[in-house]
């Protein structure tokens, strides 16, 4: 149990995917203009991440390793993620139209989110067991949402600030992300190692 909590906190806060591993930066810079859409994208991503962690874990340990196909890892993972996103989209559309309306536009964006592929690769590298993998996916998703929402909040305020002209847009966003990363380092002491 303690191990699971550690995995969750590490993935969501101390080793935040966006701010320490630089995964999922594209939507972080592109989409984080409005808090509302940031929350939507965050929830959709968390959802896909958790399922992706579980599915790729099963495929890796019950198909790729026993049949000596580990060299196909990247190709398999990316296909799994792409089809999973498609499947989740169809499933939500059939079962819960309101949820689909809220998340729909964000779902296709998730395939190219490197945080998902990164998550599955880290999961294999760290030899997590099945339960840990799921918690890892959930934690990474929560961390991604957290960073995205904080960033969106700051950027909404930023519209009223006077930013030096050359830094407008991507420049200032990156610098703010840097400051956020510094702030998140403060959490470093929560868990050791």
Per CB under 8 A, residues contacting another protein are: 19-26, 29, 71-75, 78-79, 82, 112-114, 117-118, 121-122, 125, 164-167, 170-175, 177-179, 181-182, 185
Nearest approach, Cβ of 172 to another protein (angstroms)? 7
Nearer to another protein, 67 or 71 (CB): 71
Nearest approach, Cβ of 139 to another protein (angstroms)? 17
Cα gap 142→23, rounded to integer Å: 13
Residues ≥6 apart with Cβ < 8 Å to 94: none
* DSSP alpha helix (H) spans, the chain: 2-9, 17-21, 25-30, 35-59, 73-95, 97-103, 107-111, 114-125, 130-158, 170-185
**Cα–Cα nearest to 53, from 158, 132, 164:** 132
Nearest approach, Cβ of 56 to another protein (angstroms)? 13
Nearer to another protein, 2 or 67 (CB): 67
Nearer to another protein, 121 or 149 (CB): 121
Cα gap 57→134, rounded to integer Å: 9
Nearer to another protein, 38 or 177 (CB): 177
Nearest approach, Cβ of 106 to another protein (angstroms)? 16
Residues ≥6 apart with Cβ < 8 Å to 85: 48, 107, 108, 110, 111
Nearer to another protein, 80 or 103 (CB): 80
- 8 Å CB contact between 12 and 143: yes
- 8 Å CB contact between 145 and 35: no
Nearest approach, Cβ of 168 to another protein (angstroms)? 8
Nearer to another protein, 19 or 138 (CB): 19
Nearest approach, Cβ of 27 to another protein (angstroms)? 10
């Amino acid at each position: 149990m303690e191990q699971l909590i550690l995995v969750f906190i590490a993935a969501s806060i101390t080793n935040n995917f966006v701010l320490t591993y630089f995964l999922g930066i594209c939507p972080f810079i592109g989409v984080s203009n409005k808090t509302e859409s940031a929350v939507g994208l965050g929830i959709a991503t968390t959802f896909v991440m958790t399922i992706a962690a579980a599915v790729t874990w099963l495929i890796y340990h019950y198909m790729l390793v026993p049949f000596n196909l580990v060299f196909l890892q990247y190709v398999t993972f990316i296909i799994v993620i792409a089809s999973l996103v498609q499947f989740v989209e169809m499933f939500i559309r059939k079962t819960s139209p309101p949820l689909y309306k809220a998340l729909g536009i964000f779902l296709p964006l998730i395939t190219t989110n490197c945080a998902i592929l990164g998550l599955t690769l880290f999961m294999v590298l760290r030899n997590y067991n099945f339960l840990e993998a799921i918690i890892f996916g959930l934690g990474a998703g929560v961390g991604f949402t957290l960073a995205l929402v904080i960033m969106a909040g700051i950027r909404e305020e930023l519209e009223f600030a006077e930013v030096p002209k050359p830094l407008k847009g991507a420049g200032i966003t990156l610098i703010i992300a840097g400051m956020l990363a510094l702030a998140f380092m403060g959490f470093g002491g929560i868990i050791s190692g």
